[in-house]
Amino acid sequence: MSTFPGRIVRMRADRLVAILLMMQTRGRVTAAEVAKELETSVATARRDLEALSTAGVPVYPQPGRGGGWSLIGGARTDLTGLTAGEARALFLLAGPSANAVPGVKSALRKLVRALPQPFRGEAAAASDAVVIDPARWGETDRELPPVVSLLQRAVVQRNKVRLRYAKKNGERTERMVDPWGLIDKDAIWYLIAGTEHGQRTFRVDRITEAVTTDETADRPADFDLAAAWNEVVDELEQRRAATAATVLISERLLPVLRNQQGRHCVVDGPAADGRVQVQVTAPTAWMLAQQLAGWGASIEVVGPQEVRSELARIGTELLDRYAH
């Protein structure tokens, strides 16, 4: 049994892909060249190369003057040393990093074309199984749910999954889904899947149980995960941005507000009194007032009046409760 997945977990996936592509295009590389190209130490580059070799990837060292590391047999256009499982593992590990590291996504696609024909399908599916959306929705960071790996493999291997899911209102449901792709949005994971009612989006941390089945999942031939997610985001943003408030805040505190509100805080520009004018959005005036009330006198809500009225009502309630 290959040790490839366990070895590669200890490496950065983007470095792994970059090293393989360097050997593929140059034929031979040295640890010093890898270190310079990837901005790491020579010792780190050497460990990465050795890990690739011992993991079963078809690379080998050539000692002496003019030596270095090469793909076995000079395989510059066909990485034939990879088994189907190893190719899938490579892209499963590299896929999430590829979306966050500039240039790596295109490098992955080039590497897909270099794989033997029998392996390209699963490698391509793995490289497209995850989209990373770095824009915040004002949520705090969360740990990676353990079920993500199971779902990712189900996406790549086209297996239906039986889910038990807790809705936001607490209702619990059980359903069979066709997993189409995963989204990592600021450490909060979402599953886009096909159901008997059409495409649905599930928040992964609300999945209480997931079981992979042997049934083959259906997936539209023209499905594009990134495009599907953009549609989901657009729909949510329209609902979340139904009400806007004009707010004045000091330049010093602006980064805190922007971090708290994410894409729902848009800077208009400097105000006449030296503060910064921004637009903050939420589904309702009441929700906007709730979010802004904690800032007290640190901000000034210029309008609309309905938000100012909600703030006044919240202030009166707090005064009545705590004044005495």
Here the CATH number for the domain that contains residue 30 is: 1.10.10
Average pLDDT for the chain = 77
In a domain, 144, yes or no: yes
- Around Cβ 25, how many Cβ atoms within 10 Å? 12
The whole-number pLDDT of residue 233 equals 81
φ, ψ of residue 285 in degrees (nearest 5):
-65, -40
In a domain, 234, yes or no: no
In a domain, 235, yes or no: no
Domain that holds residue 254: 241-322
pLDDT tens digit sequence for 45-56: 888 887 676 555
Do 98 and 180 lie in one domain? The reply is no
In a domain, 73, yes or no: yes
Do 312 and 206 lie in one domain? The reply is no
Which domain-ending residue is among 73, 101, 128?
A: 128
pLDDT at 241 over 80: no
Structural domain tally of the chain? 3
Do 122 and 145 lie in one domain? The reply is no
pLDDT tens digit sequence for 61-99: 777 666 788 876 544 444 444 555 555 555 554 444 444
pLDDT grade, residue 129 (50/70/90)? Answer: low
Do 20 and 73 lie in one domain? The reply is yes
For residue 61, say if its preceding peptide bond is cis, omega within 30 degrees of 0: no
Do 87 and 102 lie in one domain? The reply is yes
Please give the Cα distance from 96 to 131 (Å, whole number): 7
In angstroms, the Cα distances linking 196 to 176, 193, 200, 212, 215 are 8, 10, 10, 17, 15
143: closest CA among 180, 189, 101, 97? 189
Please give the Cα distance from 281 to 248 (Å, whole number): 14
The whole-number pLDDT of residue 305 equals 95
Do 25 and 61 lie in one domain? The reply is yes
The whole-number pLDDT of residue 63 equals 72
In a domain, 174, yes or no: yes
Do 67 and 147 lie in one domain? The reply is no
In a domain, 9, yes or no: yes
Which domain-ending residue is among 183, 208, 229?
A: 229
Do 169 and 121 lie in one domain? The reply is no
pLDDT grade, residue 213 (50/70/90)? Answer: very high
Looking up residue 208, the CATH number of its domain turns out to be 2.30.30.520
Do 207 and 296 lie in one domain? The reply is no
- Region 149-160 average pLDDT: 86
pLDDT at 244 over 70: yes
4: closest CA among 57, 50, 75? 57
Looking up residue 318, the CATH number of its domain turns out to be 3.30.70
51: closest CA among 96, 87, 10? 10
State which of 128-132, 138-142, 274-278 shows the largest mean pLDDT: 274-278
Q: Which residue has the higher pLDDT, 237 or 199?
A: 199
- Around Cβ 96, how many Cβ atoms within 10 Å? 19
pLDDT at 122 over 60: no
Do 160 and 211 lie in one domain? The reply is yes
Which domain-ending residue is among 229, 250, 274?
A: 229
Do 115 and 157 lie in one domain? The reply is no
Please give the Cα distance from 86 to 100 (Å, whole number): 22
pLDDT at 133 over 50: yes
253: closest CA among 242, 265, 241? 265
In a domain, 204, yes or no: yes
Q: DSSP character for 78?
A: -
Do 75 and 152 lie in one domain? The reply is no
In a domain, 236, yes or no: no
